[in-house]
Amino acid sequence: MNFFVPVNAQGKKIEGIVVFEPNVFEDDRGFFMESWSEKRVNDILGYNVHFVQDNHSLSCLGVLRGLHYQINPHAQGKLVRCISGEIYDVAIDIRKTSQTFLQWVGVHLTAQNKKQLWIPHGFAHGFLTITQRAEVAYKVTDYWAKESERSILWSDPEINIIWPKINGNLLISNKDKRAKLINEMNGNDLF
């Protein structure tokens, strides 16, 4: 398993975000890969990650989900991969004392590249489907808890995410359309 830390638009690495690239063994029969190894990931991260749940979503072209996160005591780390199609996956640093506070990274996750994005707690997360359909599978380190759930508006001008252009309209849930701007959040809504 290889890994790298993606850089943001300013060329800075955001501490905590890691992209994992599995070793894929392909031949005329298909392929084999190790999609998760607790030991390898923990060795790379330098701390133990324990997942409690796997989630799986299907989205059509133009579906934008996010920007979601959970605050303590139910903060979640996520390991995200695209198993069909392609998404543009985004993580935003919402750790108030971080040198990269409100900076973001975007990574193309595809069924072909098999990359996985590790997003620790302290980050908001969202993605845009850029193929006709995409299936996303991700592991989380804590269960969903309504009282801890928070959302930041996907188009917040202070964060200024540059989403890829798609052919068609964005499809956004009513809940995500009503998400708050970062300057509307109180201090307890961030890390």
Residue of 50, 68, 74, 143 marked active site: 68
Residue 121 falls in the annotated catalytic set: no
Residue 68 falls in the annotated catalytic set: yes
Helix (H) or strand (E) holding 140: strand 133-140
Provide the pairing of β-strand 116-119 with 53-60: unpaired
Residue of 69, 88, 121, 138 marked active site: 138
Q: What are phi and psi of 183, to 5 degrees?
A: -75, -5
Write the CB contacts of 115 (distance below 8 Å, at least 6 apart in sequence).
Answer: 19, 20, 21, 81, 107, 108, 109
Verify cis geometry, omega within 30 degrees of 0, for the bond prior to 157.
Answer: no
> So which residues are the catalytic ones?
68, 138
